[in-house]
Chains A and B, each alone.
Chain A
Amino acid sequence: MYNSSNLKKGLKIQIDNEPYIIVDFQFSKPGKGQSLYRCKLKNMINGTILDRTYRSGDSFEKANLEERKMQYLYNQDNEYYFMDQQNYEQVMLTDDRIGDSKNFLIDNLEVDILLFDITPIGITLPNFVNLEVTKAEPWAKGDSATGDSKPITVETGYELRVPPFIEEGIKITIDTRTGEYVTRVKE
């Protein structure tokens, strides 16, 4: 259990059996009065926002959350499948829970799946992923007309801008947090 002095932005607590994360937090204490902990909480399943003012002495259940390492298997329509490497269980996340992460999912990629009780609700990718360039305009050395970056497509269908010397068929490292090119992968 948490108590009021544990409250801070980013803390995950359980209210009415649903997981919430504190997205905004303000401590107030007027004069000689009570401490007030004013929180904005976001439901981690459906995204709704709650405003709550807590007092000193209030206590909170920790959210029943667990992060498990899983491997990405495949996707079908709007459903993305992952396998727990320990017990071979499969879980599924829908498109809206995956969000932009879908741009970086390749076969067997190891990810962290966030589970609330037994329901998968979120995904965290490794910071860097190596993806193959599937579409890029060829680069002629010495060609200064292309400027300092060009658009390409990688194997997941994701499009981004990279330096002009990047060619089709090679692999590049992308920072999954920003979606930006980091470097060429040297084989």
Chain B
Amino acid sequence: MASRETNIRLRSRIIRYIRDFFYEHEYLEVETPCLIPAPAPEAHIDAIKVDGLFLHTSPELCMKRLLCSGHSRIFQICRCFRNDERGELHLPEFTILEWYHADINYSKLMNECQEMIQSVAHRLEKGETINYQGMEIDLKGPWQRISVKRAFEKYSTLSLQDALDSNRFDEVMVEQIEPRLRKTGPVFLYDYPAQLAALSRLKHNDPTLAERFELYIGGLELANAFSELTDPDEQARRFRKEIQDRECAGKTLYPLPEKFIRDLGNMPDAAGIALGVDRLVMLFTDTARIDDVVCFTPEEL
């Protein structure tokens, strides 16, 4: 297993290869503000407050506003900040890669995501199989796709509906499903229940499901993506529900992102995705702790 020093060098190459992929695919690299007046309201993600503003928990809102002003392919590699998230795979400040592609849906986005990671692996000269924590992972496509419902049927003692009704969805994911996904190679988990995807478009033939997917490789949750919701009224309604959930849990309330909602009316159909860069580096450096792929952890400052 390589040292932190080696990991940091590899990290630098990985970020360069990520950029190269997007430049080759005619994406525009953008930088959007970290300090914002209204973070995307989410029941379980807490923003850090700074002087009346908030550090963004993801660049999503600004990037979607850019889609509204005519950009069709944009990407950003930036820092995100999420309060009280610290663990083996979590840092309160971490690096995210987010990209948006107009006029495609989440299914095509899965292909693009797969291609990007394969391209990075190729430039790293890793071959088609990588080793991660004692597992051999075959990166050759097409990568497996399984619906959330099917994953529950296959791997969980609780049905999806029961897990949702008893508020144990996350527990079951962490304790039963994610460990089993470890063994299956790269896998896209798709079609999440609608209530778990506040910014996602719903499936038109089944509105109880959202066109959302997540990518797992070697048990690492790497990316979260969806076909974007473009209906301003629906979005406002969902934001209000998230704010209400926060209120019930006694959490800080965020203002409604008014300008985002206003601009949403002009947004083209698009799909977008957020990927944890630190975790991708962990995958390619074969390390189990996020601490090993950053220059400094908060505790070292």
Contacts and interface: CB of A to CB of B under 8 A. Distances in A.
Contacts of B171: 36, 53
A31 B249 CA distance: 19
B173 interface: yes
Interface in A8-45: 26-36, 38
Interface string B210-246: 0000100000010010000000000000000000000
* Chain A interface, DSSP helix/strand/loop, else mixed: loop
Contact of B178 (A5, A30, A53): A30
Interface of A: 5, 26-36, 38, 53, 56-57
Contact of B44 (A5, A26, A53, A56): A56
B55 to A, nearest CB: 18
B170 interface: yes
Nearest to B83: A5
Nearest to B84: A5
Contacts of A5: 84
A8 B240 CA distance: 34
B169 interface: yes
A35 B84 CA distance: 9
Given A56-B249, A57-B250, A28 B87 contact: yes
Contacts of B174: 28, 30, 36, 38
Nearest to A3: B84
A27 B196 contact: no
Contacts of B44: 29, 32-35, 56
B86 interface: yes
Interface in B35-70: 42, 44-45
Given A32-B45, A34-B44, A27 B221 contact: no
A31 B224 contact: yes
A27 B86 contact: yes
A56 B11 CA distance: 32
B221 A30 contact: yes
